[in-house]
Amino acid sequence: MNNGKQMNNDWKEFLLTKGAHQDDNGLFHFDDERADNLKAENTDIICDLSHFSTLVIAGDDAQKFMQGQFTNDVKQIDESSSQLSAFCNNKGRMIANFRLFEHKNNYFLTLKSDLVDLSIKHLQNYILRSHVVIQDVSEQLIHLGLSGSKATELLSYFIESINEEVDSVSFNENYVAIRIAGSIPRYEVFCSYEHAKVLWEKITQQAEAINSSAWDYLNIQAGIPTIDANTSEEFVPQMANMELINGVSFTKGCFTGQEIVARMHYLGKLKKRCYKVHIDTEIKPATGDKLFAENARAGQNTGSIIQAEKKPESGYDALAVIQIADTESSLFLNDADGPKVTVKDLPYSFDTE
């Protein structure tokens, strides 16, 4: 199963020869989740990110088109800077969120692979007579994650001058590298299959090749949510903290769903937020699983899981959208008798002042 996109088969075969195995969701695994998530937190690692897809948006009207659809100010990015963003339905609910960057006069966005078809169909409804083309280029661009205390040094073998500011883009003719938020240096790298092989061979001499899902674990620790098919059209951007991680502009002007997003911002009626939580279970919670507060009315949930990944010590860490008023209550997964859920600190504040 490829979750809505074509994977580069040569790259797949290359990873399999390096000891990886691929699960039904297209994720590559090298070790068990507990071991690889521990490595992700404590050592230099490299991983495949094929469970994200890359779309290109090109054409003379590309920037104007995106400005009318995306939550962030597209005019603020150039070849040296990227941004998180999203596009919404008419009710202000995110269909997908993603990272956007510009390279060689084209725009690229990376999003969960199971949202590719839906995203292209949605965006094409707004092209009308604009000179804009949207295409899935995941088969042409290999997408990798590199993290660790030596990540910048390791990457400098391939890009001479690395910008270490979060969201910045470093590039040359062969590689594009984007600095990602986190407690340790992290980069997402884009390149051709041939250049990906060279990078993988070189980096793995000094860094561990680990599971694709370990990158999602690091995103959870950084408080960066990723919408997938199970949570698409569930949340306005603020419920997923998008404005706190520089994914929303309230000054750029209109975009689809903007009126509702702006009203929530200016009137301050936000009742739900995205929290990092720990879940006391050894069974992986699914995206979209519901949370319940103690003394909740029968069948009434207080929130849902965006994504969960194995905590090396025990249980699962997750990002979950929860009713703010219930975060001081005892929380449980799936029902009031389910595994205990504990709210943990995020690396950023909810204070937007």
- The verdict on 101 and 241 lying in the same domain is no
**Cβ neighbours of residue 268 closer than 8 Å, sequence gap 6 or more:** none
Most confident of 8-22, 145-159, 256-270, 323-337: 145-159
CA dist 6 and 136 (Å) reads 9
Q: What residues make up the domain containing 70?
A: 1-225
Rounded to 5°, angle at Cα 55 from 53 and 57? 170
Instruction: Identify the domain boundary among 169, 197, 225.
Output: 225
Question: Could you report the per-residue pLDDT of 184-224, keeping only the tens digit for each?
Answer: 999 999 999 999 999 999 999 999 999 999 999 999 999 99
Burial pattern 328-346, b for ≥16 Cβ within 10 A else e, equals ebebbbbeeebbebebeeb
- The count of C-alpha atoms lying within 13 angstroms of the C-alpha of 183, restricted to the half-sphere facing its C-beta, is 13
Residue 231: inside a domain, yes or no?
no
- Let me know whether 54 and 152 are in one domain: yes
pTM of the model: 0.95
State residue 266's pLDDT score.
85
Q: In this predicted structure, what is the pLDDT of residue 353?
A: 43
- pLDDT tens for residues 72-108? 999 999 999 999 999 999 999 999 999 999 999 999 9
Let me know whether 188 and 296 are in one domain. Answer: no
CB 284 within 8 A of CB 316: yes
Does an H or E element contain 133, and which?
A: strand 133-136
Pick the range with the lowest mean pLDDT from 41-45, 282-286, 332-336: 332-336
Q: Are residues 213 and 249 in the same domain?
A: no
- Tokens representing 193 are 């299959």
- Count of CB atoms situated within 10 Å of the CB of 157: 12
Which ranges of the chain does DSSP label H, i.e. alpha helix?
9-17, 33-42, 62-67, 116-124, 151-155, 193-203, 213-222, 258-267
Question: Which 3 state secondary structure label does DSSP give 96?
Answer: strand
Give the count of domains, the chain.
2
Of 175, 197, 225, the one marking the end of a domain is 225
Phi/psi for 135 (5° steps) reads -145, 140
d(CA 253, CA 262): 10
pLDDT band of 41, cuts 50, 70, 90:
very high
